[in-house]
């Protein structure tokens, strides 16, 4: 087992005080110099003119375009690196707000359900589409012009509009904390997710988990998707990819060994699924994380 960069991540103490609802930092800079870090607050990070920079969120790593808007949940490691960016005028607006700014019971109300789901997804990081960024960008840029209660209302409105936006993309396959503050699934879903955690390394069929929950396959399939927002097979694949990503980062096992240990039936299938989900092959992913690791280890 080699050292993991997650043993060396900096815990940031943000400037957000207990008496503030949120804080906003506006920067113009020529490079990124803040290390990989995490904090307990939610963070909405908007970046302009940094094409070629590198984004690291959890176990995700990718080169960014000229417009960037990412929502990072509590305790999720993240950072942006200069990488191939040549811009001398990078513009960045970082909004941080407390994880309890929205009371859990408040978020359980029907009208807040989409924001609650967005917060759940943000535990793995969310990248918003270019269309969404272009639509919401003026409001983020001008948020600092509002004061007091009006600024809080505007932030809530921005978050609402983001929650109903199309084509948001979840970045990390791992959730980097022990407890998901918004995760109160039904007993059937909890039972199923626990079963996946225990048996992901071997074939698991829809019939198997349907029987586990005393439901027909079609009924369970609909139920699981309604409760989680994804299909059972997608959830199983995500769990396998999450474990594979960690093994690529933290072990010296071969890619073939990792594929079979994570329940993929052959190396070609693993490579194909991994590249489709991550945008790179397992080998490229390991090499990229090794480059990031050298900065911290």
pLDDT (0 to 100) of residue 294: 59
Q: Give me the residues paired with residue 42 across strands.
A: 97
Question: Among the three residues 139, 170, 201, which one is the final residue of a domain in this structure?
Answer: 170
Stronger pLDDT, 111 or 173, i.e. the higher one: 111
**DSSP per-residue codes, the chain:** -PPPGGGSPEEP--S--TT-SEEEEEEEESS--PPSEE-SSEEEEEEES-TT-EEEETTEEEE--SEEEEEE-TT--EEEE-TT---S-EEEEEEEE-TTSS-HHHHTSGGGHHHHHHHHHHTT-EEPPHHHHHHHHHHHHTGGG--HHHHHHHHHHHHHHHHT-S--EE--SS--SS--TT----HHHHHHHHHHHHHTTS---HHHHHHHTT--HHHHHHHHHHHHSS-HHHHHHHHHHHHHHHHHHH----HHHHHHHTT-SSHHHHHHHHHHHHSS-HHHHHHHHHHHHHHH-
- Which of 71-75, 275-279, 281-285 shows the highest mean pLDDT? 71-75
| Shared-domain flag, residues 193 and 64 | no
197 has a pLDDT exceeding 60: yes
Spatial separation of the C-alpha atoms in residues 257 and 104, rounded to whole Å = 42
pLDDT (0 to 100) of residue 178: 43
Q: Is residue 182 part of a domain?
A: no
Say what percent of the chain tops pLDDT 90.
59
| Shared-domain flag, residues 138 and 198 | no
Q: Is residue 176 part of a domain?
A: no
Q: What confidence category does residue 245 fall into, taking pLDDT thresholds of 50, 70 and 90?
A: confident
Q: Is residue 109 part of a domain?
A: yes
Q: What confidence category does residue 256 fall into, taking pLDDT thresholds of 50, 70 and 90?
A: very high
Q: Is residue 181 part of a domain?
A: no
Question: Among the three residues 140, 170, 200, which one is the final residue of a domain in this structure?
Answer: 170
Q: Is residue 178 part of a domain?
A: no
pLDDT (0 to 100) of residue 1: 37
The tokens for 102 are 């929205």
What is the domain range of residue 215?
187-296
pLDDT (0 to 100) of residue 51: 96
pLDDT of 113-167, one tens digit each?
899 999 999 999 999 999 999 999 999 999 999 999 999 999 999 999 999 999 9
| 46-55, 98-107, 127-136, 169-178: least confident range | 169-178
Residue 65 sits in a domain whose CATH number is 2.60.120.280
Spatial separation of the C-alpha atoms in residues 290 and 236, rounded to whole Å = 27
Q: What confidence category does residue 182 fall into, taking pLDDT thresholds of 50, 70 and 90?
A: very low
For residue 206, what are the contacts with CB-CB under 8 A and spacing of at least 6?
217, 220, 221, 232, 233
Q: Is residue 180 part of a domain?
A: no
219 has a pLDDT exceeding 90: yes
| Shared-domain flag, residues 152 and 194 | no
Count of domains observed in the chain: 2
pLDDT (0 to 100) of residue 228: 79
297 has a pLDDT exceeding 70: no
213 has a pLDDT exceeding 50: yes
What pTM was estimated for this model as a whole? Answer: 0.70
| Shared-domain flag, residues 166 and 191 | no
pLDDT of 2-53, one tens digit each?
444 445 678 787 878 778 899 999 999 999 988 888 898 999 999 999 999 9
Average pLDDT (78-97) is: 94
pLDDT (0 to 100) of residue 45: 98
> Exposed (0-12), middle (13-18) or buried (19+): which is 210, by Cβ within 10 Å?
buried
| Shared-domain flag, residues 61 and 197 | no
Q: What confidence category does residue 176 fall into, taking pLDDT thresholds of 50, 70 and 90?
A: low
| Shared-domain flag, residues 137 and 257 | no
Q: What confidence category does residue 247 fall into, taking pLDDT thresholds of 50, 70 and 90?
A: confident
Q: Which residues of 47-84 are buried (b: 16+ CB within 10 A; e: fewer)?
A: bbbbbebbbbbbbbbbebeebbbbbbbbbbbbbbbbbe
| Shared-domain flag, residues 165 and 191 | no
pLDDT (0 to 100) of residue 124: 92
Residue 278 sits in a domain whose CATH number is 1.10.10.60
Q: Give me the residues paired with residue 169 across strands.
A: 127
Cβ contact 278:287 at 8 Å: no
Q: Which residues of 193-203 are buried (b: 16+ CB within 10 A; e: fewer)?
A: bebbeeebeee
Question: Among the three residues 111, 143, 170, which one is the final residue of a domain in this structure?
Answer: 170
Spatial separation of the C-alpha atoms in residues 160 and 173, rounded to whole Å = 24
pLDDT of 59-74, one tens digit each?
898 999 999 999 999 9
Spatial separation of the C-alpha atoms in residues 91 and 118, rounded to whole Å = 25
């Amino acid at each position: 087992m080699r050292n993991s960069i997650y043993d060396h991540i900096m815990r940031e103490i943000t400037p957000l005080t207990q008496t503030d609802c949120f804080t906003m930092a506006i920067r113009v800079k020529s490079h990124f110099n803040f290390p990989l870090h995490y904090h307990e607050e939610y963070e909405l990070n908007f970046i302009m003119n940094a094409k070629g920079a590198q984004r690291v969120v959890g176990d995700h790593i990718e080169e960014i375009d000229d417009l960037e808007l990412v929502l990072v949940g509590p305790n999720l490691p993240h950072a942006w690196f200069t990488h191939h960016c040549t811009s001398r005028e990078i513009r960045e607006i970082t909004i941080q707000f407390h994880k309890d700014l929205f009371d859990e019971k408040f978020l359980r109300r029907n009208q807040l359900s989409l924001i609650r789901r967005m917060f759940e997804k943000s535990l793995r990081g969310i990248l918003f589409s270019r269309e969404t960024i272009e639509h919401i960008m003026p409001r983020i840029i001008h948020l600092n012009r509002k004061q007091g209660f009006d600024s809080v209302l505007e932030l809530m409105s921005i978050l609402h509009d983001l929650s109903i936006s199309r084509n948001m993309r979840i970045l990390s396959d791992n959730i980097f904390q022990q407890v998901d503050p918004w995760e109160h699934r039904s007993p059937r879903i909890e039972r199923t997710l626990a079963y996946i955690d225990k048996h992901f390394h071997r074939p698991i069929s829809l019939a198997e988990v349907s029987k586990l929950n005393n439901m027909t396959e079609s009924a369970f399939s609909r139920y699981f998707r309604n409760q989680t927002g994804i299909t059972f097979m997608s959830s199983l694949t995500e769990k396998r990819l999450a474990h594979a990503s960690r093994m690529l980062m933290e072990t010296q096992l071969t890619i073939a060994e990792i594929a079979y240990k994570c329940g993929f039936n052959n190396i070609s299938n693993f490579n194909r699924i991994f590249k489709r989900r991550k945008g790179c092959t397992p080998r490229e992913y390991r090499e990229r994380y090794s480059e990031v690791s050298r900065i911290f280890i």
